[in-house]
Amino acid sequence: MKLVKLTLLIMVVLLFITACSSNFMQTVIGTNESKSKRDYAGKVNGHTITEEEFVRSFMGHFEGFTVRTNRKPSDEEKRKIYAQTWDDIVKHFVLIDLFKENNITTTMPEVMDSLLTNVPRIMKESPLFNEFGEFNYYLYEKCLRENDPIDLGWLKADYYKYKIPLKKLKVKAYASTDMNPDELKDEYSFYYTSVDSKVIYLNPESVKTVVINAEVDAYYNKNIRKYFIPASCDIAFTKFPVIPTDEDEENARFVADSLFTEINSGAVFSHLASKYSMHGSKSDDGSLGFVKLANLPTNVVKAINKTPVSSFTRPLKNGDDWSIYLVEDKTKTMVKLRLIRIKPRAGDKAYAMIDEMMQNVTELSKTIGSENATAEYDMQAETAKGLTVENDVIPDLGKSTTLIKQMLRKSPGTVLDPIKHQNDKAFILIEVTDSRPSSYVPVETVKSEIEDTLLKEKKERLAFEQAERLIDSFKGKRIIETAVKAGYEVIDMPNLTYESTVHNIASTILIQDILNLKSDNTSTRPVVLEDGVYLGYAQSIQRPNPKNISLVRRELFERLSSEENDRFFDTWLEKKISDAKVVKWFNDNAFNPE
């Protein structure tokens, strides 16, 4: 299950990156900067980011969090997501500029060769391509080449836009580095040093301590915003479609007949379609292109079969609409068409009828509630519960922050004025069925949760203090001897390198600290990892002593260019990112709550 969630999370993130990169490159670059700053979230190195694009990016990160944790983020976590959104946007544009400055391009053959030769770990571990514990390479290759039955377009896009260009950028970065010989040797030494080491592990769970009520109260008061419950309301809402009357339908037929007469009199079909048609093809002068006859209504097929090429049909009724088709070409099973479609427009009488019905429902709602009132008229009310300023999406209405703010001030039983919807083709009638003022989760409700949090923090802190006392009191081999007597776990790592893991944790900080020790029989300072406190001890260190700097440079850069995690390149890129000119205009409070 964890593997499935991890796979889904990475796919969500990659899909998000791909969608945003395409949209940014096509839309943001070259945006008219003369618009009001209110239309934008900010700028990165001259590239403008609209509020809509920033929100899309933020929601992509938000969705990634929910997939990973199976819950919504707290206010503090939202702040972190907000900051991460900006960090990723800045990194995106810095990379786009670097790719352009260095003339870095990618071809699809490169992408396919890379993905087929070196299958990404995410694909190897994905349940989508594993059967009985074995990776199905045939299915993977088929999906890569055909995007079927699983669409891997997002993966190819990620390699095309990021993975392969990044690898090429690394080469450029190494070629332009101004590292002096000593810096090159230090970097080389890090990757080729081996340490006969031991790692002392202090498990916080073995530490005895307790949490008292005063500590719980202090934590609760300090983090009170975490337990804030926003004002919310429940609603019942009913959609009242405006249905054209018989008179409106007759008017539509009259318009269709009039257009038919004009065409017969020599009017240009495409001109009339672009002016009067109520079909989506209006913007293309009524052109439908080639259409399969099997996909057309029976009465339309019969009429078209009787209509020669370059001629048009009489007005044909389809439901409440009237259609005139111009036949431009015919094949064995298809036909090329242009269309003029006329729909009945609701007139004053139709609106008066719906207005009267809504008044009657509103009046009856005061007595029996809107759900029962609409049922009396053979209609059905829908409900939406727990609406807040943040949870502000109402079905059929979409994002409705202002409306919800209004409803939060209403008493239960209040029926709002009808809201126009769908270009006046319908109205929404809303009743506030319940409302709740803002409040806070009682401390009693979250006491157990707080105790667990505090207990974990205290145990971790006490374990860290024990580790500090150990290295402050003992030197050399006595540290290991004392640790064993104290019952701490001592892990033998006779050949520790930069790729080593401890308890299956890839701890960059701990490993780097051990590799950076200057002499044998010395220890690192304590490091807190996800499962406890660690400190490293080097019994003996084997460092390379390269003489040929040119060879060092070439061998180091060749190795680094193939590394997934490359600290030299990461540092180089971080410097480029820190030099980026970033301006933020976006209202932080919308995503960074106080």
pLDDT at 224 over 80: yes
The residue assigned the tokens 């309301």 is: 233
Confidence of residue 593 (pLDDT cuts 50, 70, 90): very low
Beta-sheet pairing, 419-421 with 426-436: antiparallel
What Rg do the C-alpha atoms of the chain give, in angstroms?
Answer: 34
The counts of H helices and E strands in the chain are: 21, 22
* Average pLDDT value for residue range 99-108: 92
Q: Are 208 and 553 in contact (CB under 8 A)?
A: no
Mean pLDDT of the chain: 85
Q: Give the pLDDT of residue 357.
A: 92
End-to-end CA distance of the chain: 35
Confidence of residue 376 (pLDDT cuts 50, 70, 90): very high
Lowest mean pLDDT among 306-310, 327-331, 363-367, 563-567: 563-567
* Average pLDDT value for residue range 503-511: 80
* Average pLDDT value for residue range 93-101: 93
pLDDT at 221 over 60: yes
How many other CB atoms are found less than 10 A from the CB of residue 218? 13
How many other CB atoms are found less than 10 A from the CB of residue 341? 22
At CB < 8 A and 24+ separation, what contacts does 324-327 make? 324/256, 324/259, 324/260, 324/263, 325/300, 326/269, 326/286
Q: Give the pLDDT of residue 553.
A: 73
Beta-sheet pairing, 40-44 with 582-584: antiparallel
Of the two residues 395 and 300, the one the predictor is more confident about is 300
Helices (H), 159-232: 164-175, 181-192, 213-222
DSSP structure class, residue 395: T
For residues 413 and 428, give the distance between their C-alpha atoms in angstroms, rounded to a whole number: 16
Q: Cα 523 to chain center, whole Å?
A: 43
Q: Give the pLDDT of residue 530.
A: 83
Q: Give the pLDDT of residue 17.
A: 42
Q: Give the pLDDT of residue 267.
A: 94
* Average pLDDT value for residue range 162-179: 81
* Average pLDDT value for residue range 55-74: 79
Lowest mean pLDDT among 202-211, 367-376, 422-431, 573-582: 422-431
How many Cα atoms occupy the beta-carbon half-sphere of 434 within 13 Å?
7
Question: Which range has highest mean pLDDT (151-155, 188-192, 538-542)?
Answer: 538-542
- Phi, then psi, of 431 in degrees rounded to 5: -115, 130
**Which amino acid is located at 195 in the chain?**
V
Confidence of residue 170 (pLDDT cuts 50, 70, 90): confident
Q: Give the pLDDT of residue 74.
A: 78
Lowest mean pLDDT among 58-72, 364-378, 571-585: 58-72
Burial of 101 (0-12, 13-18, 19+ CB in 10 A): exposed
